[in-house]
Amino acid sequence: MDELRQQRILRQHILTDHLMGVGTVPMSILPQAPAASERPQQAMPPRQQRPTPSTPRPSNFQLSNQPPAPKPSPPATSVIESLWSRITIPNAAGNESLTVEEKQQLLDQMNTMEVSTCRQCDLCKARTQTVFGEGSATAELMFVGEGPGQNEDLQGRPFVGRAGELLDKMIQAMGFKREDVYIANVVKCRPPNNRTPQMAEVQACGGYLLRQIAIIQPKVIVTLGGPAAQLMLNTQTGITRIRGQWHTFDALKPEGPSIDVMPTFHPAYLLRSYTHDNRKKVWSDLQAVIERLGK
């Protein structure tokens, strides 16, 4: 087997482990694949003027989602910090008083007027459609994954493949229906070959997720897999070390509440490593969530 092929296989295995939430091998040792950045860059089309909403937006939703200034491969932590610093969520406390219809309207507006036509990063080039997220606009419990896969890209819905079926079973086991919770991803377009989203893509797209959280204001967020946990918790610690412990999402403060975050393994990882030990760990994480929600 030639060296290039060996490197490709090694890279694929390590990326898959990170996608599934078990990044035991540091990404930094990955053999370099031909980077997207080495391909000729297309000029970004001019930003379209947003249509005026048919109903006035509450003043507490003047949120920033400007495209980031291009930077040459900054360290991952600084990219995440940059994302957090440019998302401003004034008066998040007022969102508690919005009705389910008002919250749904805000989510729909963001989806139709911004996300569905978004071209802020290269992931738009290969997508069939964006995958915004779905569920109850007043959900107490929100699941956050990493990005859409092939089935999600085709259907425009999050977690609809085999991993989605397993997530549905997990939700049912917790005593919820799928429509009771909210399910979203960090990036709204499918990364090619289901690779982990690059930090520039997370930086471009993560603001949509933070705004979804600001509107829904769930009591608990369960992150699925390593990359989602690392974005939400602003950390580079691997999922094996942070799963099963309570963390706090403070981006809505001081006006809004802190939100409890429970990182757990991605359902796709569970499908691949369907061991008693892994199932026990995930179920233990979900039981802690049930207890926190007082169910």
- Of the two residues 131 and 171, which places its CB atom closer to ligand SF4 in the complex? 131
Amino acid at 108: D
Q: List the one residue from 95, 105, 111, 120 that touches ligand SF4 (CB under 6 A).
A: 120
> In 3D, which of 143, 239, 146, 131 has the Cα closest to residue 196?
146
Can residue 209 be called a binding residue for ligand SF4 (CB under 6 A)?
A: no
Q: Contact, 129 vs 156, CB < 8 A?
A: yes
Q: Contact, 228 vs 145, CB < 8 A?
A: yes
Can residue 121 be called a binding residue for ligand SF4 (CB under 6 A)?
A: yes
Torsion of CA 170, 173, 177, 180, to 10 degrees: -80
Can residue 105 be called a binding residue for ligand SF4 (CB under 6 A)?
A: no
Can residue 239 be called a binding residue for ligand SF4 (CB under 6 A)?
A: no
CB within 8 Å of 134: residues ≥ 6 apart:
157, 158, 182, 183
Strands 141-145 and 182-185, sheet pairing:
parallel
Q: Report the nearest approach of ligand SF4 to the CB of residue 116 (Å).
A: 8
Q: List the one residue from 22, 89, 107, 115 that touches ligand SF4 (CB under 6 A).
A: 115
Can residue 211 be called a binding residue for ligand SF4 (CB under 6 A)?
A: no
Using CB under 6 A, which of the segments 10-18, 68-76, 120-128, 277-285 binds ligand SF4?
120-128
Terminal-to-terminal C-alpha distance of the chain: 55
Can residue 187 be called a binding residue for ligand SF4 (CB under 6 A)?
A: yes
- Of the two residues 160 and 186, which places its CB atom closer to ligand SF4 in the complex? 186
- Of the two residues 133 and 164, which places its CB atom closer to ligand SF4 in the complex? 133
Q: Which DSSP helix (H) or strand (E) runs through 141?
A: strand 141-145
Q: List the one residue from 15, 22, 80, 118 that touches ligand SF4 (CB under 6 A).
A: 118
Q: Is the dihedral of CA 111, 113, 117, 120 positive or negative?
A: negative
**Up-side HSE of residue 127: CA atoms within 13 Å toward CB?**
27
Q: Report the nearest approach of ligand SF4 to the CB of residue 291 (Å).
A: 34
Q: List the one residue from 146, 152, 201, 260 that touches ligand SF4 (CB under 6 A).
A: 201
51 prior amide bond cis, ω within 30: no
Can residue 111 be called a binding residue for ligand SF4 (CB under 6 A)?
A: no
Amino acid at 128: T
Using CB under 6 A, which of the segments 4-12, 15-23, 111-119, 261-269 binds ligand SF4?
111-119
Q: Contact, 146 vs 187, CB < 8 A?
A: yes
The 127-146 contact track toward ligand SF4, x by CB under 6 A, reads ---x----------------
Report the interface residues with ligand SF4, using CB under 6 A: 115, 118-121, 123-124, 130, 187-189, 201, 204-205
